[in-house]
Amino acid sequence: MDKIIFATSNQGKMDEIKMIMEGFPMEIISMKEAGIYALIDENGKTFEENAIIKAKAVMELTGCITLADDSGLEIDYLDKEPGVYSARYLGEDTPYSIKNKTLIDRLNGVEGSDRSARFVCAIAAALPNGEVLTTRGTIEGIIGYEEKGKFGFGYDPILYVPEYGMTTGEMLPEDKNKISHRGIALRMMRDKLFDYNSK
């Protein structure tokens, strides 16, 4: 059976994609399971560019269909910062309590829908024939006035989702997974790959 590689070393993402791709007629394996250890420079300007860079690099090493993702938080008032620099914002090792407080402070005086923001996830599939497919999923919200919630990670305590009346950090993980930007993008990619596979 042909294999699809997911270019990540994050086990949580692997578990999520394996669950979403259940029933797909190709096995999904991680870079580790494929025996690939590549350090890829994510120097793209958009989530899609970064996902494509990673997916192409691993596809070129293996010849297999390769998926990769890139995600982050976009705040409209800050010209979409921290964006593709979400993990690196204020330094990779800076605690998120500081990153979150800094972003809240930078929105001082900004009210209501002007605080609009979203989690974005782009997924790219690099195919051996050189074709590239991309999908994008989002969770739309506004930046809260203080951190709230003990679930999740990263910027979860500051993205308030009006539809649910809470931040993603207050959502039970199983509830957040149902609406997650990564889940949306992955399911869209699964459907695109099904179409591609049945051509």
Q: Which residues are catalytic?
A: 70
Binding of residue 72 to ligand IMP (CB under 6 A)? yes
In the list 16, 81, 156, 170, the residue contacting ligand IMP (rule: CB under 6 A) is 156
**Piece of the chain touching ligand IMP by CB under 6 A; list 64-72, 101-109, 123-131, 189-197:** 64-72
Binding mask 107-126 for ligand IMP (x = CB under 6 A): ------------x-------
Binding of residue 71 to ligand IMP (CB under 6 A)? yes
In the list 117, 123, 155, 166, the residue contacting ligand IMP (rule: CB under 6 A) is 155
DSSP the chain: --EEEE----HHHHHHHHHHTTT-SSEEEETTTTT---------SSHHHHHHHHHHHHHHHH-SEEEEEEEEEEEGGGTTEEGGGTTTTT-TTS-HHHHHHHHHHHTTT--GGGGEEEEEEEEEEE-TTS-EEEEEEEEEEEE-SS---SSSSTTGGGEEETTTTEETTTS-HHHHHHH-HHHHHHHHHHHHHHHHHT-
Binding of residue 75 to ligand IMP (CB under 6 A)? no
The site for ligand IMP (CB under 6 A) is made up of: 69-73, 86-87, 119, 152-156
